[in-house]
């Protein structure tokens, strides 16, 4: 179940407006939840593996991200983008590409 949106939490439903820092905040929250740790213990520069993310939790976490952002990221992406800072930038790129495809689809339909 997604965590409630507070005033300090960026709204993941408004993906076009999200910046990398916003995504990183959302990912900190979801990773902390997946790893059963406090958000303050999540370091965006630390490797996922060093924070305790194993392959099983990684699959579950990426699935939650895909559900939340309507993406189709492969679970192996956590091995290519090994910390939250890198992964946030990757997610922003995926979201931007998805939004560009939607815009192109609308333009082609016109």
Q: Where are the domains of the chain?
A: 19-109
Q: What is the pLDDT of residues 60-109, one digit of tens each?
A: 999 999 999 999 999 999 999 999 999 999 999 999 988 877 776 655 56
- pTM score, whole prediction: 0.78
Per CATH, the homologous superfamily of domain 19-109 is: ACP-like (1.10.1200.10)
Residue 14, pLDDT score: 52
21-29 — which CB contacts under 8 Å span 24+ positions? 21/88, 23/88, 23/91, 23/92, 23/95, 24/84, 24/85, 24/88, 26/68, 27/65, 27/84, 27/87, 27/88, 27/91, 28/84, 29/3
């Amino acid at each position: 179940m997604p965590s409630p949106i507070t005033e300090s939490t960026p709204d993941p439903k408004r993906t076009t407006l999200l910046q990398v820092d916003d995504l990183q905040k959302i990912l900190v929250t979801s990773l902390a939840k997946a790893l059963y740790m406090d958000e303050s213990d999540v370091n965006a520069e630390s490797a996922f593996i060093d924070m305790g993310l194993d392959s099983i939790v990684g699959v579950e976490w990426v699935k939650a991200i895909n559900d939340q952002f309507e993406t189709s990221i492969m679970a192996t992406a956590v091995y290519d983008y090994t910390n939250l800072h890198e992964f946030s930038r990757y997610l922003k790129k995926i979201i931007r590409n998805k939004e560009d495809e939607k815009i192109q689809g609308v333009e082609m339909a016109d």
